[in-house]
Amino acid sequence: MGPSFPKWLQTQKSVSYLDISDNGITDTIPSWLWDLSHGLYFMDLSQNQIRGTIGNLRSEFPPKLNVSWNQLEGPIPSTLSEVTFLDLSNNKFSVAAASFLCTTKDSNLSFLDISSNHIFGELPDCWIHFKKLVFLDLSNNSLSGKIPTTMGYLFSIRTLRLNNNGFVGELPSQLKNCKNLTLFNLAENKLSGSIPEWLGASLQNLTILILQSNNFYGSIPPQLCHLTRIQLLDLSMNNISGTIPKCLNSLTTLTQKGSSSQTIRHSFTGDSAQITFYEVYDDEASLIWKGLRAEFKSNLGLLKSIDLSSNKLIGEIPSEITHLVGLISLNLSRNQLTGQIPSRIGNFQELESLDLSRNQINGKIPTSLSWIASLGKLNLSENNLFGKILIGTQLQSFDYAYDGNCLLCGAPLPRTCPEEEKGPGQSVLVNQDGQDGLITQGYYISMRLGFAVGFWEVCGTLLLNRSCRYTYFNFLTFLNDWLHVKAAIICQRMLNR
């Protein structure tokens, strides 16, 4: 149809539905197009390359307007806030948020998406007039300041995306009134303060909660364990401290395998003076998946994930976490976790990605880890693990998963385990007396060379590698304490006899 708007549209009368999306139009919007708005209920111009500005709208315009994914720029007419469904996302609009959001009272807006533009400034505190809003996406803009307290009046809101902006301060407690909220994305802002208890206590319909890349601090509130419907919990890249709550096994949805739906779908009814229409939309989210940022929409309902990475968490990984058998991804990397990997980690039969790297986890790799056939990404690097990597399992296919664990051995690491260094047939029976001296001399030379090589292999590593030196002496301390306790127990038993 493109590159220009078709001229035959000018002669059309009584048009109620106009969809010319994805037609290769690179033209500017002609003024006559808005003359069609009289009696028009729906206009979709999305996914073209339409240039220029929206222009001056007439007094009447369609209650449902979609101009997303174009090259539109300039200001946003204030009259647009009176429509019911408005999608201006992925354009080049450059305007202060206050210039068009607070120009009307008792707005009919049910769906507002102005994400991925150049909207700037602070959000006006006028959200008391948007009580019908079900969907609000302001992400990927240049918004700043605090989140307005009147957002607590968005009683109908289900999807709220404020991510990738410059919001500061603490979360206003008034948001606890948004009890229908299912997706809440605040990632990549400058928010601070502790994670509010009311997130778990009041917003129990939450399915997706993303607080990644902010400045939240303090411990994880146990009230988050009340989020029985949560499927995606991302608290990564903050300053959260304390231990991982043992009550995570109360996240009921994560204890269930599979899903009846691949999407997270919402439906709502939009009302305007001309028409009442039924609308459906699917939620989407962006997160780090197997080391890369990925977008999920059509399969978002299948994604069950917990990401607590890049914080200051301490203590052991609670064994209760292995009850979350529906998890597909678990990331606890870049913390200060200690103790051992839970022995029942093999319960994660759906797990595709596991990252426990850059902690202080010790002990052996549990045998049950090899039971997870679906595992596609594993990272246990930079810990204090020791012992042999299990043979004949997919665990040997993760080349870099074990780096920085100086006491681990076996494939795929170049370090062989002690029992593997003894090959078959190493004992030699010599019957000829004339060769005894030569064999004895060779034996002592080999022993001295072996001692020298072994000595410098161990001591050189300890001298040059600080991490290995720390791990090795920790291991010796642990072994010394264990032998001391064992000896004391044996002596006590002998005295009792």
Ranges of each domain in the chain: 7-409, 426-496
Mean pLDDT, the chain, as a whole number?
Answer: 85
User: Does 433 have pLDDT greater than 50?
Assistant: no
261 or 449: which leads in pLDDT:
261
Check residue 27 and give its pLDDT: 93
pTM for this prediction: 0.84
Is 484 a residue whose pLDDT tops 70?
no
pLDDT attached to residue 287 = 77
Neighbouring C-beta atoms of residue 154, cutoff 10 Å: 23
Yes or no: domain 7-409 corresponds to CATH 3.80.10.10: yes
Structure tokens of 138? 């302001």
Rounded Cα gap, residues 396 and 388, in angstroms: 11
Residue positions counted in the chain: 497
The model's confidence at residue 495, banded by pLDDT at 50, 70 and 90, is low
| Nearest-10 crossing angle of helices 436-464, 466-496 | 110
Question: What confidence score (pLDDT) does residue 420 get?
Answer: 61
Radius of gyration of the chain (CA): 31
Structure tokens at 16: 């109620």
Look at 492 and 87; give whichever has higher pLDDT: 87
pLDDT beyond 80 at 472: no
Find residue 305's DSSP bridge partners. Answer: 232, 329
| Amino acid (1-letter code) at residue 185 | N
The amino acid that residue 362 corresponds to is N
- With vertex at residue 149, the alpha carbon angle to CA 146 and CA 155, rounded to the nearest 5 degrees, is 130
C-alpha atoms less than 13 angstroms from C-alpha of 407 in its C-beta half-sphere: 20
Q: Which DSSP category does 161 fall into? A: E
What would the mean pLDDT of 382-408 be, rounded to a whole number? Answer: 89
pLDDT at 381 exceeding the cut of 70: yes
pLDDT of residue 395: 86
